[in-house]
A and B are shown apart, each in its own frame.
Chain A
């Protein structure tokens, strides 16, 4: 019964017509998704250097070297946004399935972990409707509607391994696919005129790779007394040129016509991630991360955009570690976390870069010693209402179910 309800709920999500961002996402590949895992969301979305007993890092595969259980993580999110212009504001929300990851250890001694998953990489989601009236009786009143949907998703498979000096190396083989649909439509308010729609659709597909490295615990190297689990991590996310089919169709109420069909490439710039984390006094985890991607190099069909700029993100997170004692009560086993980030987004309009400031919070609620419900909250603010731009206030709730099981494991006799 519960399974049926879950299936029904998940299926219903795809029928909801809403939006989770603004017209900014018309440019480039839309809003970038930095992390899949709700835990990492709560720590500022990055967590490049985190070694994690429970979760699967999708940003640095080297972090899989300490897998000791089979892990399955399913995530979904609620995204609410208030979009402000200089004279109006608008609220919309959308629920999205964030994807599913699973991983398992192949050799804990050699740090060989395997993981695969399907995760979103970027998201386009906007709607706009303008009303016009014409003195011409044959035109009368009409609505001009813009809508953007879709994004880029990633299927990855990869593995990690321990290398000399206890460093960890990880790599994934990524397959990217997407569907960016940009609709422009006219809907007349009279009964005689047929509506019109133009759809520009990009369908990129192609391969990429992620290479990550994670240091051993550097605490002893630096000789800090009160600090433990000091890790440094880095990863690079490379994209081959994504072969992209582009179709422009016009649709009236009676005719569908393909106006143009092109096939060329989408160039997505390489993404670099760096992170440092440590635990203070055995209870307080701190993370510091940096990610950059030169979106000025982004091209579709060899054309770059004046509305894109090099982007980067700086984030920091704090997590109150759980007491891992058998006698711990439920609330003592709950992990609490907060994060802050500053992001220079890829968007730039009229010479003004769109910056985003975010606050994050989250908890991991143990269902039992190995399984968790992770919840994170994000409040972000970006943009400005100057020069006809938009200021956005985001509220995002992420929910993920994390299962750690002893499947596929071999035990010595």
Chain B
């Protein structure tokens, strides 16, 4: 009986194991399967006469989250910085301030430089004005600047610029008011100061902005004295800071102007109605050509643009979490936007592409991209789509 069962199992094992001898699939028989043929095709916007359009859109945004403060003046751009300071005070100092027995002997600030826009050696100077109106770094924008109220008295003294640090001295009186405000808000006001470039300035400097993890943000060393008692040094930390950049670009319709901080975004649209439902997009690549002569870039910047799907024509709304990076290769910005094209051919409306600077709240880089009406056809924005279609 056992031998019969063994016989049956042996046959079954033989049947199953024989299959493992199969060759890997080859092209034998492919010619008979034209009925199911699918083809890899390429759509090239520059070769296939795909209708495209582009322009530039100024979109004012708050720069409060930027790790860099901009200050200075270059061409048509003026960068202002608003900063408010705070202190951590021991009780003895607080008592002295309350008793009005503390004198401010000196207030010397230092700002660490991490960026230049324009010639590094160009002249630069600025004034410090006391801000009188309320402002909030999270929402303060270039549009808010016109309504900002500040005194016209320049509080700055003794400014010195080195390669990496800018030193300045600020009026003792305003610092004393900040100390009073720190102890009791009813004693004095502290709405911070406006750093405003003087007309002779011909560059914009970037300073390290407030960062709880960064020790190189702006500080003011305040020397105080309680007469007959002690002399001490207090440190004023940044409580809040923000930059605004005021200015405009002359828009050339042959170009897409993309600029950080100011802020200009590019709009680009391709008519992809020739791609029907059922098309599978294997890869889509967007190539933008930079005019290196017309572009204006700082000494230290993020060499990338980001593309976004426009989800609504209302204020060119985008989904910020879906970023399609366009990396710099020579004078091109190239990126994979396959997901974007798939989105459009999956019955979603094609409102176009919004292109931003890679870090749009840092620096003042102006990328001049050759647009959809640029005279040299091959330099226009190029969308190449590799797709598969069933016959």
- Asked if A184 and B36 make an inter-chain contact with CB atoms under 8 angstroms apart, the answer reads yes
Residues of A close to B13: CB separation below 8 A: 9
Whether A331 sits at the interface, judged by CB under 8 Å, is no
Whether B376 sits at the interface, judged by CB under 8 Å, is no
Using known A-B contacts A95-B18, A138-B285, A373-B8, determine if residue A248 contacts B390 with beta carbons closer than 8 Å: yes
Q: CB-nearest residue of chain A relative to B5?
A: A2
Whether A250 sits at the interface, judged by CB under 8 Å, is yes
CB-contacts of A186-212 with B (<8 A)? 186, 188, 192-198, 200
Query: A71-92 CB contact bits vs B (8 Å, 1 = yes)?
Result: 0000011101001110011111
- Asked if B29 and A85 make an inter-chain contact with CB atoms under 8 angstroms apart, the answer reads yes
Whether A24 sits at the interface, judged by CB under 8 Å, is yes
Shortest A59–chain B CB gap in Å is 24
- Asked if A91 and B27 make an inter-chain contact with CB atoms under 8 angstroms apart, the answer reads no
Q: CB-nearest residue of chain B relative to A388?
A: B31
Give the contact-size bracket for chain A.
35 or more
Whether B328 sits at the interface, judged by CB under 8 Å, is no
| Interface-located stretch among B139-147, B214-222, B225-233, B274-282 | B274-282
Shortest B21–chain A CB gap in Å is 6
- Asked if B29 and A22 make an inter-chain contact with CB atoms under 8 angstroms apart, the answer reads yes
CB-contacts of B273-294 with A (<8 A)? 277-283, 285
Query: B25-64 CB contact bits vs A (8 Å, 1 = yes)?
Result: 1111111110111101010000000000000000000000
- Asked if A128 and B388 make an inter-chain contact with CB atoms under 8 angstroms apart, the answer reads no
- Asked if A13 and B16 make an inter-chain contact with CB atoms under 8 angstroms apart, the answer reads yes
Q: In whole angstroms, how far apart are the Cα atoms of A397 and B13 in the complex?
A: 13
Q: In whole angstroms, how far apart are the Cα atoms of A26 and B36 in the complex?
A: 9
Q: In whole angstroms, how far apart are the Cα atoms of A130 and B279 in the complex?
A: 21
Q: In whole angstroms, how far apart are the Cα atoms of A23 and B283 in the complex?
A: 30
- Asked if A390 and B28 make an inter-chain contact with CB atoms under 8 angstroms apart, the answer reads yes
Whether B134 sits at the interface, judged by CB under 8 Å, is no
Whether B336 sits at the interface, judged by CB under 8 Å, is yes
Using known A-B contacts A186-B282, A259-B277, determine if residue A88 contacts B390 with beta carbons closer than 8 Å: no
Using known A-B contacts A26-B32, A182-B36, determine if residue A401 contacts B8 with beta carbons closer than 8 Å: yes
Give the contact-size bracket for chain B.
35 or more
Whether B360 sits at the interface, judged by CB under 8 Å, is no
- Asked if A24 and B22 make an inter-chain contact with CB atoms under 8 angstroms apart, the answer reads no
Residues of A close to B386: CB separation below 8 A: 138-139, 193
**Contacting residue for B280 out of A24, A83, A92, A250, CB 8 A:** A250
Shortest A121–chain B CB gap in Å is 21
Using known A-B contacts A2-B5, A78-B15, A257-B278, determine if residue A198 contacts B390 with beta carbons closer than 8 Å: yes
- Asked if B33 and A23 make an inter-chain contact with CB atoms under 8 angstroms apart, the answer reads yes
**Contacting residue for B283 out of A12, A194, A200, A250, CB 8 A:** A194
Q: In whole angstroms, how far apart are the Cα atoms of A95 and B23 in the complex?
A: 15
Using known A-B contacts A139-B386, A193-B386, determine if residue A390 contacts B29 with beta carbons closer than 8 Å: yes
**Contacting residue for B22 out of A10, A92, A132, CB 8 A:** A92
Residues of B close to A128: CB separation below 8 A: 25-30, 33
Whether B67 sits at the interface, judged by CB under 8 Å, is no
Q: In whole angstroms, how far apart are the Cα atoms of A186 and B39 in the complex?
A: 8
Whether B338 sits at the interface, judged by CB under 8 Å, is yes
Q: CB-nearest residue of chain B relative to A136?
A: B42
- Asked if B42 and A200 make an inter-chain contact with CB atoms under 8 angstroms apart, the answer reads no
Using known A-B contacts A26-B33, A26-B35, determine if residue A131 contacts B278 with beta carbons closer than 8 Å: no
Whether A326 sits at the interface, judged by CB under 8 Å, is no
**Contacting residue for A144 out of B18, B35, B38, CB 8 A:** B38
Shortest B150–chain A CB gap in Å is 53
Using known A-B contacts A128-B29, A250-B280, determine if residue A367 contacts B18 with beta carbons closer than 8 Å: no
Interface centre among B23, B279, B384 (most CB of A within 10 A): B23
Residues of B close to A401: CB separation below 8 A: 8
Q: CB-nearest residue of chain A relative to B33?
A: A146
- Asked if A88 and B32 make an inter-chain contact with CB atoms under 8 angstroms apart, the answer reads no
Using known A-B contacts A23-B32, A128-B28, A130-B27, determine if residue A186 contacts B15 with beta carbons closer than 8 Å: no
Q: CB-nearest residue of chain B relative to A126?
A: B29
Shortest A366–chain B CB gap in Å is 10
- Asked if A193 and B282 make an inter-chain contact with CB atoms under 8 angstroms apart, the answer reads yes
Which 5 residue pairs are nearest across A and B when measured between Cβ atoms?
A23-B29, A196-B280, A196-B388, A259-B278, A23-B32
Q: Beyond A88-B28, A95-B16, A186-B282, list 10 extra A-B contacts (CB 8 Å).
A: A22-B32, A83-B28, A88-B27, A93-B18, A129-B26, A197-B280, A248-B390, A250-B278, A251-B280, A252-B280
Which residues of B are in contact with A by a Cβ distance under 8 Å?
A: 4-5, 7-9, 11-16, 18-19, 21-33, 35-38, 40, 42, 277-283, 285, 336, 338-339, 342, 346, 384, 386, 388, 390
Q: What are 29 sample pairs from A and B whose C-beta atoms fall under 8 A apart?
A: A2-B9, A22-B29, A22-B32, A26-B32, A77-B15, A83-B29, A89-B28, A90-B26, A92-B23, A93-B21, A95-B18, A95-B19, A128-B29, A129-B25, A129-B26, A146-B29, A184-B33, A186-B40, A193-B282, A195-B282, A198-B388, A250-B278, A251-B280, A255-B346, A257-B277, A257-B346, A367-B4, A373-B11, A390-B32
